[in-house]
Amino acid sequence: MARYVFITGGVVSSLGKGLASAALGALLQARGFSVRLRKLDPYLNVDPGTMSPFEHGEVFVTDDGAETDLDLGHYERFTGVSARASDSVSSGRIYSNVLEKERRGDYLGKTIQVIPHVTDEIKDFLAIGDGEVDFQLCEIGGTVGDIEGLPFFEAIRQFAQERARGQCIFMHLTLLPYLAASGELKTKPTQHSVKELRAIGIAPDVLVCRSEQPIPEKERGKIALFCNVRPDAVIPAYDLKSIYEAPLAYHRVGLDQAVLDAFRISPAPRPDLSRWEDVMDRLERAEGEVRIAVVGKYTQLEDAYKSIREALTHGGLANRVRVRAEWIDSEIFEREDPGPFLESYHAILVPGGFGERGTEGKIRAAQFARERGIPYFGICLGMQMAVIEAARNLAGMADAGSEEFDHEFGERRFTPVVYHLKEWVQGTHTVQRRPDDAKGGTMRLGAYAAKIDEGSLVARIYGTTRIEERHRHRYEVDVQYRDKLQECGLRFSGMSPDGRLPEIVEVEGHPWFIGVQFHPELKSKPFAPHPLFADFIRAAVEVSRLV
């Protein structure tokens, strides 16, 4: 049975709980243990699928088709363990399950209450797959004391109580604010946060203290004393230049040792940190820089394209260069010529997106890249834009567009080279979608296989002709236009195994122009950069050498 580490946060939000959890996962792996990371979110949305990227950052999609919290992306990038639907749950999902059972009569007429019915549902979630790995790390979203989070805290308390002694530990993240006026780090908020935890029956075994200043030994001792944790289990967490420093940085300050000590695992297996040392070496000794223009919609919010940002960094690691990605609002190109904006970049990426706003600008960016021979990487909506651009400007279909935009306006304005698919094959069965399906449940989601054309650019990049990538979209390029577009030089180099759904397009004779219907960024890792991102950055490096 797995050992459990429950990770909670206090004092303020955004302390980097997800990163600390992911780094701990990586360190336990480095010591030879198998791990799985989980996220429990207190919000009432059933899943983040319908939340705006402005609200919640990126939606991370798993192989098995769940739309989850972006922290699962961190977990996957740090551990290489593919996240599953059962690795993320929200209060909304828990309540919805409980209410469904109530309607079915599963509770045999009992009065349904938070304790035990909601907490039992949470505990059932925690127990999923507990025989599969050595450690399950479960992060509770939000901060201790939040009203919505209480059932989760109660559930982890009960869970630990019901398991054998020593099978579960609690790790709590807090902040030590620094008062410049008195030159002091303050421990009181941490003390209060731990007090709050203890009031609901949870005593932390490990305290991770975020601080902008070095934490003096004296303060560490004080925290240990007042919070009732061992001094060597008070772990300082300082700001890092790159998130990928986290595993080595946390190792240096003894996080993994403190966790193993709390489980009384002795002697602790020696860690092999070579994977992270190599990543650090590539980060620190990068030579040169490439500038990438990311032309999209949610440009103000760092987290909206989290995985793309990270995958670009990984592409840089693969080529030992720094990647400077700059986010450009595509709407600008609807008013102005993209040339002067885009000329100074070594490559252009158009990421996924929803809705019509800004799409004409993305089409113009794709046209600019195609005509000027600048590397272009179109992801999901970015591929659809590239296809529409080719249809309009190469195949003479001036009114080519996507049904998505017509749906928004409720009238037919375009010839739909990208259309709303209602039925498709997944593995061995057929998926059907009705127009009245609830929002969030109507997309082609999760891993799908694709067949790649021999001799194509993508076949060379992947080094194989059979791939599997993750999807999240409602619309598809219409295969009936394939021949027409291929004649103009837009090659359909990747298709679904049944040949009905275009998965990859590339422009023949262009140094690097690729559109993919899926999201390769979701599978990239710092120690295993996705081949498309690695090669896209390689192509950008080539351009940078020419100018």
CA distances from 104 to 79, 98, 121, 482, 503 (A): 39, 10, 15, 49, 41
* Residue 354 in contact with ligand GLN, rule: CB under 6 A: yes
* Residue 404 in contact with ligand GLN, rule: CB under 6 A: yes
- Determine the residue type at 216: P
Residue 157 vs 472, nearer CB to ligand GLN: 472
Nearest residue to ligand GLN, using CB?
352
CA proximity to 284, closest of 242, 231, 326, 250: 242
Omega before residue 267 within 30° of 0, cis: yes
Catalytic residue status for 506: no
Return the residue of 20, 317, 381, 388 that touches ligand GLN, per CB under 6 A.
Answer: 381
Catalytic residue status for 519: yes
* Residue 74 in contact with ligand GLN, rule: CB under 6 A: no
Distance in Å, CB of 369 to ligand GLN, minimum = 18
How far apart, in whole angstroms, are the C-alpha atoms of residue 432 and residue 414? 25
The catalytic residue among 209, 227, 380, 469 is: 380
Q: Between helices 17-30 and 71-79, what is the axis angle to 10°?
A: 20
- CA atoms within a 13 Å half-sphere pointing along the CA-CB vector of 339: 3
Distance in Å, CB of 307 to ligand GLN, minimum = 12
Residue 472 vs 525, nearer CB to ligand GLN: 472
* Residue 58 in contact with ligand GLN, rule: CB under 6 A: no
Alpha helix stretches (DSSP H) within 57-163? 71-79, 91-104, 119-127, 150-162
Distance in Å, CB of 301 to ligand GLN, minimum = 16
**How many residues make contact with ligand GLN (CB under 6 A)?**
10
Would you give the DSSP letter of residue 454?
A: T
Residue 139 vs 476, nearer CB to ligand GLN: 476
Piece in contact with ligand GLN (CB under 6 A), picked from 204-212, 301-309, 352-360, 462-470: 352-360
Return the residue of 16, 57, 352, 531 that touches ligand GLN, per CB under 6 A.
Answer: 352
How far apart, in whole angstroms, are the C-alpha atoms of residue 370 and residue 354? 23
Distance in Å, CB of 519 to ligand GLN, minimum = 7
Piece in contact with ligand GLN (CB under 6 A), picked from 69-77, 173-181, 447-455, 469-477: 469-477
Omega before residue 435 within 30° of 0, cis: no
Residue 474 vs 482, nearer CB to ligand GLN: 474
Phi, psi torsion values for 289, nearest 5 degrees: -150, 140
Return the residue of 73, 204, 353, 520 that touches ligand GLN, per CB under 6 A.
Answer: 353
- Determine the residue type at 120: D
Residue pair 310/336 in contact by the 8 Å Cβ criterion: no
Structural element, H or E, at residue 333: helix 332-335
Catalytic residue status for 380: yes
For ligand GLN, the binding residues in 474-493 under the rule CB under 6 A are: 474-475
Residue 67 vs 219, nearer CB to ligand GLN: 67
* Residue 424 in contact with ligand GLN, rule: CB under 6 A: no
Residue 291 vs 474, nearer CB to ligand GLN: 474
Residue pair 488/396 in contact by the 8 Å Cβ criterion: no
CA dihedral 463, 467, 468, 473 (to 10 degrees): 100
Residue 125 vs 475, nearer CB to ligand GLN: 475
Q: Between helices 71-79 and 306-319, what is the axis angle to 10°?
A: 20
Active-site residues, by number, are 380, 519, 521
Q: Which chain residues interact with ligand GLN by CB under 6 A?
A: 352-354, 380-381, 404, 472-475
